[in-house]
Structure 1
Amino acid sequence: MYQFAELDWTGSHDTVVVGIGAADAVETGLDTLFNGRVKSLIQSADISTKTGEVSIVPTFEGNIKRVLFVGLGQRNDSSVENLRNWFGKVAKEIKGRGFTDVAVALDTFEPGVASLFAEAYEMATYEHPTYKSAPKSATPDVTITLLGDVNEADVEAGAAYGRGVNVARTLTMMPANILDAVALADYAVDLAERRGFSHRIIEKEEMEALGMGALLAVNQGSTIPPKLIVLEYNGAGDDAPIAVVGKGVTFDTGGYSIKPKDGIVGMKGDMGGAATVLGLFETLATTKPAVNVLGVIPATDNMISGDAFKPDDVITAMNGKTIEVLNTDAEGRLVLADAVTFAKTYEPKAIIDVATLTGGVLVALGTEVTGCLTNDDSLYEALETASRATNELVWQMPYFDVFIKQVRKSEVADLNNSPGRYGHMIFGGAFVGEFVGDTPWLHLDIAGTSERSAANYLGPKGPTGVMVRTLASMLEGWKR
């Protein structure tokens, strides 16, 4: 899709994208396309220099049909996030208007923004899959020529960030009768074989042999067997990996602690953590950071039947700890418990788990901020640094002994899976922490950020693919 060339105002393109600030001197070649009238077009408001506003103006001369101007104001608002959003806005204009031959004068925005443009373009032009009987109209192919001093590897990396997000979006959007645990495992195997990752699928019989009583309990009510999906990216030889564990509950009824009718709609997205892991691996295939990464996804649905697990059951996790089940709708932490324990058999440098775990994180932080727990402040600092670059906001929640004691409070077992309503987000994370031990650990609760209720410059309403870019950025900068 991308071509590369030097900036040449005498070249031939249907559309050229240009950033223009209020105080900018107009480049001679650009002004020539408008017979020297760019300043007068600005004065008449036919070209807007207001921050983020788009103006599309036909040219008067030359082989360029039109110029799409993006206003940069006084250029003091050209932050990474603003540029990403403006590039997303440009991408939507390109797609919406059916432009097929577009050149982007990147240096008129800021130096070194090629990766940002590619990332934004992939995300902004994405469309969710649908299952309507009438086929959608085909989108015309577009050729984008990036003008200026452009590093092609940066463009590939930016596009890979966007593609990883879109993989996670697509998987999260798929209905559970199409994407069940078996289909999710098949997708992971296909990804691994296409992209050159090692892979392993642990079946129910092996889970039983390993003693994964927590994951198996959640699966008891289902007719679809569970899968433990294991992917390995090797970028650092024999070095210990960073384990990324994603909750893969393909549909969550709540079990016998059943969800209300309004709350059960949308539970196909309860595998958002698994989608993040798979999107991350899609990105790693291109960015190739110098680290080893272990991906672990416990995949199952949480259904109701005569065989389903129940409140008051006592189950035994892979590490031998017993758990009193007080709430079958607190199932995500149960599947993560066994997945984290399994990940520890690889002796990882760190464990990061990602999950649509609790409604409590929505109450605490809303829909724009991912809640985090950690036992290692430097690990959180690395995440926070990466999140600032991607603008995927994170916030560290307290992880005190008072919460841990509540998780350990049971008269009949070592742990309980639901100490109560207050502090629920922290209890969910603290429960997973009981299976981490001394390994450096981050818990990311994306229940509030994995979906958006309205479209924005970088994508449609619905699944967001949150944390794919942040984790990819964090792993690229890994120095521990």
Structure 2
Amino acid sequence: MDFSIKACDWTKGTTNGFLTGKSDCIVIGVFESQTLSGAALEIDAATKGLITRIVKAGDMDGKSGSTLFLHEVAGIGASRVLLVGLGKEDAFGQKAYNDCARAAWRAILGTKIVQVTFTLAQLPIKERSSDWAVRAAILALRGETYQFTQLKSKPETPKRALKRIVFSVNTPDEKAAKAAVKHAVALANGMELTRDLGNLPGNVCTPTYLADTAKKLGKDWKLKVEVLGQKQLEALKMGSLLSVSRGSAEQPQFIVMHYQGAAAKAAPIVLVGKGVTFDSGGISIKPGEGMDEMKYDMCGAASVFGTMRTVAELGLKLNVIGVIPAVENMPSSTATKPGDIVTSMSGQTIEILNTDAEGRLILCDALTYAERFKPAAVVDIATLTGACVIALGHHNSGLFSKDDALAGELLDASREASDPAWRMPLDDEYQEQLKSNFADMANIGGRPGGSVTAACFLSRFTESYSWAHLDIAGTAWKGGAAKGATGRPVPLLTQFLIDRAGQ
């Protein structure tokens, strides 16, 4: 799709050809009150009160997400007008805007419309600017058009005809809006890569598949890529990581991707993504129901792939390293057993009381490995605990960090990106639950505060740098009829890196 920006000040009557220009459809918003403003007011005047009459007749009540097509409207160049209900003006924030943008795209995608003029980005959104609105609209559209059909023998041909979208913005916002288009397209591309990897089944998306994907990403975007195999991981004494892969015929792969956008000596941001390509639970095997969704246990890794692609496409001026420990967790005669004790790369010993608490076992060695990069900050991303889903549901990712400044940056990025996170506790008192009679620590701390004790476990391997942990177990994918990867938290991570780069 082609996205472009055109300045237009509806309040001053300088419509810059929007009213007379030829397009298949112009999208305008109508609030619940019968007072029209902006593009709606100008088009109402050009059509001799048509919009006012439609509103008064009750055909468009302005309720949030309602839509109405008007055809062959005299007085304007567009062959259709799409009215979109915005709800109450005083409650029009980012969620309301996103809902209305999605409603508009769904209406348009069900038609043969090819070219659209989109005016909703000029609406008065609480605490948001036009460039934010442009980016949100593009992401909403790309989200609506995403399909995973790679493994269908006869994939359905998309019905959409939409190819070109022109966004109207106020003249002072034109430059920022053009930058927002670039950001949105790169972010949507990264999210689609993340979703594709997440949606692939475990028999396709193996640790080796992830390694090959990293190599291809390296060639396409000029990233330096290293892949360490079994023998190299043994030499590094990653006993914790290797304990997880022992039961599988699939060899572990430890993937490192380097993006250099700043001076070589500049300290990098390191993103560590959990890459369990299928999690049966190992000897502590999971219930059969819903186990198919454990192909999504590599969504942390997938989000690192998507973020690295986005960063490279944007050309951000900072250094980023993606670290992905990729394994499969399976039961077999060689699998790690409950009660086994392993030695991590850090030298700390771990009593494995539950082999289904495996994500932390691969992440701890990856977090130790990250020390060698002398990072400015490390953020790990993992579908780590069902306890986080119980605590936060499917709206917020769980954020854990003892570094208030880093946590603040990530929370600010989550709000800007409409990819919400909620800060969770990481008090030392929770560490008591990880005590072991036989090793330095246990890999689980019992049911109370399960997501917190998992983060506490990881914190023991991060004392040499600034660190944060994102538990995305409730946000990385959806179940049920809408089953599929969401692409989160690529928007949050990308915004965090954009902010760090000052771009």
TM-score category of the 2 structures, normalised to the smaller one = over 0.9
| Match in the other structure for 2:152 | 132
51-60 or 261-270, larger mean C-alpha shift: 51-60
Note closer, same or farther for the CA distance 1:108–1:472 as it changes in structure 2 (3 Å cut). closer
1:180 aligns with 2:192: no
370-379 or 159-168, which deviates more: 159-168
Cα 1:426–1:25, aligned 2, differ >3 Å: closer, same or farther? closer
CA contact 1:129–1:170 (8 Å) conserved in 2 = no
C-alpha deviations, 1:292-345, integer Å up to 9, x for none? 211101001001112111112111111111111111111100000111111111
Q: Which residue of the partner structure matches residue 186 of structure 2?
A: 160
Instruction: For residue 262 of structure 1, give the secondary structure of its aligned residue in structure 2.
Output: coil
- The correspondence of residues 325-344 of structure 1 with structure 2, limited to 5 A, is 325-344=352-371
Paired residues for 1:114-263 under 5 Å: 114-129=134-149, 131-149=151-169, 150=174, 151-237=177-263, 238-263=265-290
How far 1:9 moved relative to its partner?
A: 1.2
Range that drifts further, 300-309 or 105-114: 105-114
1:391-402 equivalent positions in 2, closer than 5 A: 391-402=418-429
> Hey, what does 1:452 align to over in structure 2?
478
Q: CA deviation at 1:435?
A: 0.8
| Conserved? CA contact 1:33–1:59, under 8 Å | no
Change (3 A) 1:38 1:184: same
Identify which range, 337-346 or 100-109, moves more after superposition: 100-109
| Counterparts in 2 of 1:69 and 1:290: CA distance versus 1, 3 Å | same
Aligned to 1:462: 484
Q: CA offsets per residue over residues 398-440 of structure 1, 9 Å max, x none?
A: 2122222332x22222121112222211111111111111311
Displacement of 1:30 in angstroms is: 2.1
Task: Note if 1:46 corresponds to 2:59.
Answer: yes
The answer for the alignment partner of 1:59 in structure 2 is 72
Higher RCO by CA contacts (8 Å cutoff, separation 6 or greater): 1
Shift of 1:242: 1.1
More off after superposition, 220-229 vs 382-391: 382-391
- Residue range with higher mean Cα deviation, 321-330 or 12-21: 12-21
Distance in 2 between residues matched to 1:63 and 1:475, nearest whole Å: 42
Distance 1:260 1:55 in 2: 47
- Paired with 1:313 and 1:471, the residues of 2 have a C-alpha distance of 36
Deviation at 1:63, TM superposition (A): 3.8
1:24 aligns with 2:36: yes
Report deviation, 1:232.
1.5
State the AA in 2 paired with 1:41.
I
For residue 289 of structure 2, give the secondary structure of its aligned residue in structure 1: helix
Distance 1:115 1:392, change over 3 A: closer
Instruction: Please give the per-residue CA displacement for 1:181-225, whole angstroms capped at 9, x wherever unaligned.
Output: 111111122122212222111111111111111111111111111
1 CA distance for matches of 2:46 and 2:59?
Answer: 15
Distance in structure 1 (CA, Å) of the matches to 2:433 and 2:295: 30
Alpha-carbon shift at residue 243 of structure 1 (Å)? 0.9
The answer to whether the 8 A contact 2:317-2:501 is kept is: no
Rounded to whole Å, the distance in 2 between the matches of 1:448 and 1:164 is 20
Shift of 1:93: 2.1
The C-alpha deviation readout for 1:87-128, integer Å capped at 9, x for no partner, is: 222222222334222221355535433222222211222123
Match of 2:2 in 1: 2
Return the alpha-carbon distance in structure 2 between the equivalents of residues 343 and 98 of structure 1.
51
What residue identity is the alignment partner of 2:107?
E
Q: Residue 10 of structure 2 corresponds to which residue in structure 1?
A: none
Gap regions ≥5 residues in structure 2: 7-15, 125-129
Shift of 1:166: 2.2
Structure 1 residues 314, 453: CA separation in 2 closer, same or farther (over 3 Å shift)?
closer
The AA in structure 2 aligned to 1:56 is F
2:463 is equivalent to residue 430 of structure 1 = no
Contact 1:104 1:144 in 2 (8 A): no
Contact 2:269–2:375 under 8 Å retained in 1: yes
User: Is 1:411 aligned with 2:437?
Assistant: yes
SS across alignment from 1:13: coil
Q: Quick check: 1:219–1:302 contact (8 Å CA) kept in 2?
A: yes
Q: Is the 1:123–1:165 Cα contact (8 Å) retained in structure 2?
A: no
Query: Number of residues paired by the alignment?
Result: 475
CA distance in 2, matches of 1:34, 1:452: 44
Which residue identity does 1:145 align to in structure 2?
I
2:327 alignment counterpart? 300
Residues 45/392 of structure 1: CA separation in 2 closer, same or farther (3 Å cut): same
Worse-superposed segment, 3-12 or 369-378: 3-12
Paired AA for residue 246 in structure 1: G
CA contact (8 A) 2:64 2:96 kept: no
2:323, 2:366 within 8 Å by CA — same for their partners in 1?
Answer: yes
Could you say what the CA RMSD is over the residues aligned between the two structures, in angstroms? 2.2
- Determine the C-alpha separation between the residues in 2 that align with 1:7 and 1:170: 40
1:71 aligns with 2:81: no
> Secondary structure in 2 aligned to 1:134?
coil
**Using the alignment, how far apart are the partners of 2:480 and 2:93 within structure 1?**
23
In structure 2, what is the Cα distance between the partners aligned to 1:171 and 1:479? 27
Pick closer, same or farther for the CA change 1:135–1:316 going to 2, 3 Å: same
- Go from structure 1 to structure 2 and tell me whether the alpha carbon gap of 1:412 and 1:360 turns closer, same or farther (over 3 Å shift): same
Residues 328/3 of structure 1: CA separation in 2 closer, same or farther (3 Å cut): closer
Name the counterpart of 2:293.
266
Q: Secondary structure at the match of 2:302?
A: helix
